[in-house]
Structure 1
Amino acid sequence: MHVKTSISWAFLALMAALSVQAVQAAAPENLPKDKSLGEIEQVFAFHDAMPTGVSVSEKGRVFVNFPRWGDNVPFTVGEIRENRVFPYPNLEVNQADPKHPGKGFISVQSIVADGLGKLWILDTASPSFSTPIAGGAKLVAVDLKTNKVVDTLVFPDNVILPSTYVNDMRFDFGAGEKGVIYITDSSLNGPGAIIVMDIATGKAVRRLNGATSTSADRDFIPKVEGQMLMFRNADGSSKPFTVASDGIALSADRQTLYFCPLSSRHLYSVPTKLLRDPTVSEDQLAAAVQDLGEKGASDGLEADAEGAIYAGDYEDNSIRKRLPDGTWQTVVHDPRILWPDTLSVGPDGYLYFIANQVHRQAGFHRGRDLREKPYSLLRVKINAKPAQTR
């Protein structure tokens, strides 16, 4: 009798221990999980249209833009102040002028404060990625002291193809008479390129047109939030996510241009003097491009004054930093960084960036818009200054 009782108590104790283990195993909060790295701060929350670009001026003013991709966009360029977004430089210039496409903003994809008192605005003239409106793709400079438009450079016909989508830009005011602008063409269905525009003359050329370095990697299949990212239509059809040259950054000494296709994990570089030299053939230029290896899948790129390059990683909710010796460090990794888009180094030692959930748009999910508001303007401390443009 005593032996049976001991066995019974031992059996009950074993079952109780197993039950505790089963409960613990079933509790998800007790499982190991992905750890965040670095500290992000939310600068602004957007509850209306989705932003893509941000730029912080040398005086600390913060500008953003909203391309006309289908959201209700009352103005496509704005300034954040007083905890609101105001149309910039005013509401009138933010309206397209069908009779004069070179004047009003049609659909702005990128803005860059040049560090010398101007905000440059890149108008794709391609709402919802349509064929660019003739004479509408342009660069507009606004004087930050007067908040007035002081220059407009309409892209010449030789660089704007039916498939062109001008995406981002960087400036070198030490080259040429008034400076040179480098712009990426991130076409979805045509050749990618680096467009080189001379500010003094307005003349522009396409360089690395259709080259491997400016083209979507056909073997690249992005995975975001655990799913393969493809263009998926409501009718059930789908096609690969193939977007050409997108991110762009100019080295602190302005001797090297860094760039990457959106549909790729590779970072490329090329000497800027070769890009500007008309005697250098396309074959020679392509041969001079360096493939700097994988950095993650990036939308935006940026440079600082110390020679580092920053790259977002939309597959890994991260931003990384390439040191001058070529090694990489993760600056920040956080599940709330849902598609890091444009990057901008502010004068306060912070890296500002947009997290806008591009991958959750309806075009990737058979017509279902999975974006959750708000979209965010975030920042992370990097203790570095912006690269100079002159």
Structure 2
Amino acid sequence: DIRFDLRKGTDGVAYITDSSDKGPNGIIVVDLGTGKSHRKLNDHFSTKAEKNFLPFVEGQPLMQRKPKQKPAYLKLGSDGIAISADGSRLFYCPLASHKLYSVGTDALLNESMDDKQVATTFKDEGFKAAADGLESDASGYIYSTAYEHNAIVRRHPNGMYETVVTDPRLLWPDTMSVASNGYLYVTANQLHRQADYHNGKDMRQKPYSLFRVKINNKPK
């Protein structure tokens, strides 16, 4: 996933999560003015999938199930990403995890700081719903998809959670965006129905959907 903060640098910066299930995970920072990039928190435990993570989606255990191969646990790392309202913290989470983390953006932007130094600004933000997407708004809420529950939840600045919406049509919600009209937009991409999870058979059903829900908050 990717998030932009045009308040940083001369022309803004982009933060990208590397969620690979085959190599080390991490966070990539791109200077939009120069095009230069660097990688932080490479293979840090907070960017990696939880060991033997087994979510239940649409009432079924979700594992990678490829033809002629043994079922395998999900190993997708750092994925969901959101910037705090003031731009000082970057919130992120592995896809295969029930945890939320954050790190200081000044540390991420500082190329001279090594990963050990960057990690001193890291914070474990506690338990949350398993998510494939995060978003934030100007009021300090952090929104999280909840793919096990066909839902979207949001974290208050004090750390408490509430459900924004739940609907059986929210089949693997992802790609959230807060708009200036006070709505939160979200896609339902049916990732869990892909062939990799059903012995080579694609179970997704078209058309795909884009939903919106009124949140009465503005983008940061």
1:242 matched residue in structure 2: 75
1:360 matched residue in structure 2: 193
Task: Give the Cα separation in 2 of the matches to 1:217 and 1:262.
Answer: 9
1:344 to 177, 181, 193: 177
The answer to whether the aligner puts 1:327 opposite 2:183 as a matched pair is: no
1:174-193 paired onto structure 2 within 5 Å: 174-193=7-26
1:309 matched residue in structure 2: 142
Q: In structure 1, the residue corresponding to 2:42 is in which secondary structure?
A: coil
Task: Give the Cα separation in 2 of the matches to 1:312 and 1:330.
Answer: 10
1:256 matched residue in structure 2: 89
In the alignment, residue 18 of structure 2 is paired with which amino acid?
Answer: D
In the alignment, residue 348 of structure 1 is paired with which amino acid?
Answer: N
Task: Give the Cα separation in 2 of the matches to 1:176 and 1:346.
Answer: 24
The answer to whether the aligner puts 1:213 opposite 2:57 as a matched pair is: no
State, as a whole percentage, how many aligned pairs show the same letter.
54
1:267 matched residue in structure 2: 100
Task: Give the Cα separation in 2 of the matches to 1:171 and 1:367.
Answer: 36
Structure 1 residue 255, shift from structure 2 partner: 0.7
Contact 2:135 2:144 in 1 (8 A): yes
Deviations 1:129-168 (A, max 9, x none): xxxxxxxxxxxxxxxxxxxxxxxxxxxxxxxxxxxxxxx2
Structure 1 residue 177, shift from structure 2 partner: 2.1
Task: Give the Cα separation in 2 of the matches to 1:341 and 1:348.
Answer: 20
After the TM superposition, which segments of 4 or more aligned residues of structure 1 sit over 3 Å from their partners? none
Contact 2:52 2:73 in 1 (8 A): no
Larger Rg over CA atoms = 1
Structure 1 residue 324, shift from structure 2 partner: 1.1
Q: In structure 2, the residue corresponding to 1:275 is in which secondary structure?
A: helix
1:158 matched residue in structure 2: none
In the alignment, residue 341 of structure 1 is paired with which amino acid?
Answer: D
Contact 2:38 2:111 in 1 (8 A): no
2:217 matched residue in structure 1: 384
In the alignment, residue 232 of structure 1 is paired with which amino acid?
Answer: R
Structure 1 residue 288, shift from structure 2 partner: 2.1
Q: In structure 2, the residue corresponding to 1:238 is in which secondary structure?
A: coil
1:42-57 paired onto structure 2 within 5 Å: none
Q: In structure 2, the residue corresponding to 1:352 is in which secondary structure?
A: strand
TM-score, length basis structure 2 = 0.96
1:121 matched residue in structure 2: none
Q: In structure 2, the residue corresponding to 1:386 is in which secondary structure?
A: coil
In the alignment, residue 305 of structure 1 is paired with which amino acid?
Answer: A
Deviations 1:220-267 (A, max 9, x none): 211111221111112243222110111110111111101111111111
Structure 1 residue 176, shift from structure 2 partner: 1.8
The answer to whether the aligner puts 1:278 opposite 2:111 as a matched pair is: yes
Gaps of 5+ in 1: 1-167
| Higher helix content, 1 or 2 | 1
2:205 matched residue in structure 1: 372
TM-score, length basis structure 1 = 0.55
Task: Give the Cα separation in 1 of the matches to 2:51 and 2:151.
Answer: 23
1:202 matched residue in structure 2: 35
Task: Give the Cα separation in 1 of the matches to 2:3 and 2:157.
Answer: 19
Gaps of 5+ in 2: none
In the alignment, residue 99 of structure 2 is paired with which amino acid?
Answer: H
Q: In structure 1, the residue corresponding to 2:203 is in which secondary structure?
A: coil
Task: Give the Cα separation in 2 of the matches to 1:346 and 1:249.
Answer: 15
Contact 2:183 2:213 in 1 (8 A): yes
Task: Give the Cα separation in 2 of the matches to 1:336 and 1:177.
Answer: 42
Deviations 1:20-76 (A, max 9, x none): xxxxxxxxxxxxxxxxxxxxxxxxxxxxxxxxxxxxxxxxxxxxxxxxxxxxxxxxx
